[in-house]
Structure 1
Amino acid sequence: MWGVFAKPFRNIERIFPTKQEAVSRMVDLCKTMPNIKRITIFGSAVTAGCNPWSDIDIYFETDTPLQTYPVVLGDDVFDNWSNFTAEGELLEEIKKKGVVVYERGSTVAGGVNMENTARSEEERIPMELINGKIVMMSPRPRVDHTRVSGELYRIFSTALKGKRCEAFPDGVDVYLDEKNHFVPDAMIVCDPSRIKPTHIEGAPTLVVEVLSPRTQIYDRGAKMQAYAAAGVQEYWIVDPLGKSVEIYRPQDGRMEIQRVYTYYSPEEIAENATAPERFRLTDEEKEQDIYVDLCGGFHVLLADVFERVLNHA
């Protein structure tokens, strides 16, 4: 099966190399789609002297009939892609003149180094498939976001060393189903059969999503629903700004909140003890220890997670 995403860039002097990053984004996006076997490009992406009125076309070969995915890219340059099937003479031209920039299982195809047409894996902008929509995630998370997700992974990994359950950090793909491919900020998987060479297939046991301004609507909405439907046993929403952890568990097919933990420093707790009684924290609100009931159980101290988080957005 063959198809194309085509996006014209009009009225610019030289598409190459000024629009090469946009081409890279296109290639990266196509690579996230299910069943992609091969990606071929034309025009200014590979030809430095290309006519500035030409289009940039990305052709791709798929295992199964082409599906059209809505693309959520904010204000990015290719939010109005069109979709059609390439046949006959056009297909012959693609095979004859196109340059293969991606082939499943290969980093170099058609004699073209991928560095010339798409960013390296380390620089790839992360994307997720959420309820059938491709969503661009935050390309570079804030420092506090990384501190929190990294610390949680460290705690999980240390506690689970040598045990059946295994912790994974940010950057590992989770394929819940054909319409939901996520990249959690941290997770625990207790079923080793779900761990594949390139991704986690099916529901992790525990999932952590750290809020960011761009993605929190999904973390609290469509992704939470998908995690519940897939069978995730526990879901954490972590807010670096509010220094809180919300614990959810599935009930009747949806995630229901069980508990909210908020970090308070020893100084804040001591100061609160002198406040009028109606403003004092309850014993439950003062708890600074989350117990995780997996593989014999372990504790997560809020101070370890949030102590170094900055006190601003």
Structure 2
Amino acid sequence: MYAVQRVEQAISEEEYLATERQQQDKHEWYQGESFAMAGGSRWHNLLSTRILSALVPHLEGTPCTPYMADLRLYIETHHHYVYPDILVVCDEIAYIAEDMVNDAAVIFEILSPGTESYDRGRKFLHYQSLPSLREYVLISQTIMQVEVYRRKQDGKWEYERLTEPTAQLRLTALDYVMTLEHLYRDMPIKRSGGKWEA
């Protein structure tokens, strides 16, 4: 996700929503604290754009629509407002406002040094409470690595780590496949000591 910075001022949920709709800068909110979102790197934006540009035509004519980081997600169970890098919404009932949803089928986060532990930890824990979430995808912008968490029918999550150019990112919820070679094309990533890295 984009880097976040704590705003040292307590703010209520109602104040947060009112303020957020009147300003251009985006903030996440949790437990009375607002967190400003900083801009992403060149490679962060490239990866996000590449995923979105692939999903838009693929999902045309289906109930599913992909969005970039401007659509707010309300995680109701935890009273947590976030802006995923990309989320795919497949159910009309999820739209609770023009600028907000409360559920998603697939969520992508592009990992950044300052937010990686958050994306892997509390944020993923909270995402798991979304009833329709089927896949959570973590994409590295510094090494060739994509991690996918898939919710199985029994509610448990299975993990897959992809690191090779020919590896296929399979989004079963969307019936879509993309190779890592395609995802990372033209990025300064090379193979070094058996590991793909920038």
* Same fold per superposition (TM over 0.5): yes
* Contact persistence 1:156–1:188 (CA under 8 A): no
Equivalent of 1:309, from 187, 194, 198?
A: 187
What is the CA distance between 1:301 and its match in structure 2? Answer: 2.4
Distance 1:152 1:216 in 2: 19
Report deviation, 1:133: 4.3
Pair 1:193–1:144, CA change in 2 (3 A) = same
Kept in 1, the 8 Å contact 2:170–2:178? The answer is yes
Tell me the secondary structure at the aligned position of residue 209 of structure 1: strand
Native 8 Å contact 1:205 1:233 kept in 2 = yes
Counterpart pick for 1:217 among 83, 93, 117: 117
Tell me the equivalent position of 1:146. Answer: 45
Match of 1:290 among 147, 169, 173: 169
User: How many corresponding residue pairs?
Assistant: 181
Equivalent position to 1:35, from 14, 17, 35:
14
Separation of aligned partners in 1, 2:16 and 2:136: 34
1:192 alignment counterpart: 92
**3-state SS, counterpart of residue 229 of structure 1:** coil
Give yes or no for the alignment of 1:239 onto 2:119: no
Contact 1:132 1:180 in 2 (8 A): no
Q: Which runs of 5+ in 1 are unaligned?
A: 1-24, 40-101, 108-119, 265-286
Q: Secondary structure at the match of 1:35?
A: helix
1:230 counterpart SS class:
coil
Deviation at 1:203, TM superposition (A): 2.1
Asked whether the equivalents of residues 234 and 250 of structure 1 are also in contact (C-alpha less than 8 Å), the reply is: yes
Q: Following TM superposition, by how much is the alpha carbon of 1:140 offset from its aligned partner in structure 2, in angstroms?
A: 1.6
Distance 2:158 2:17 in 1: 43
How far apart are 1:238 and its partner, in Å? 0.6
Larger Rg: 1
Q: How does 1:1-313 map to 2 (within 5 A)?
A: 33-36=12-15, 121=24, 124=25, 126-130=26-30, 133-137=33-37, 139-177=38-76, 179-195=79-95, 196-200=97-101, 202-231=102-131, 232-250=133-151, 256-264=157-165, 287-294=166-173, 297-311=175-189
- 1:263 deviates by 4.0
Q: Which amino acid aligns with 2:82?
A: F
Q: For the residues of structure 1 that align with 2:87 and 2:17, how far apart are their CA atoms? A: 31
- Higher strand proportion: 2
Aligned Cα root-mean-square deviation (Å): 2.9
Superposed displacement of residue 309, structure 1: 2.1
Q: Is the 8 A contact 2:8 2:33 kept in 1?
A: no
Q: 1:241 to 1:168 in 2, by over 3 A?
A: same
In 2, the alpha carbon distance for the partners of 1:303 and 1:37 equals 41
Q: Judging changes above 3 Å, is the alpha-carbon distance between structure 1 residues 240 and 37 closer, same or farther for their aligned structure 2 residues?
A: closer
Higher relative contact order (CA 8 A, sep 6+): 2
After superposition, the Cα gap between the structure-2 partners of 1:204 and 1:37, relative to the gap in structure 1 and judged at 3 Å, is closer
SS of the residue corresponding to residue 299 of structure 1 reads: strand
Q: 1:244 to 1:132 in 2, by over 3 A?
A: farther
Q: Once the two structures are aligned, what percentage of the paired residues are identical?
A: 20
Contact in 1 for aligned 2:75/2:129 (Cα 8 Å)? no
- Report if the CA contact (8 A) 1:209-1:237 is conserved: yes
Structure 1 position 230, deviation (Å): 2.2
The 8 Å contact of residues 59 and 65 in structure 2, kept in 1 or not, is answered as yes
Partner of 1:69: none
Question: In structure 1, what is the Cα distance between the partners aligned to 2:134 and 2:176?
Answer: 16
| Aligned residue type for 1:34 | E
**Structure 2 gaps, min length 5:** 1-6, 190-196
Q: Distance in 1 between matches of 2:16 and 2:27?
A: 19
Once the two structures are TM-superposed, the CA of residue 38 in structure 1 deviates from its matched residue by 10
Q: What displacement does 1:26 show?
A: 7.9
- CA-CA distance at 1:134 after TM superposition: 3.1
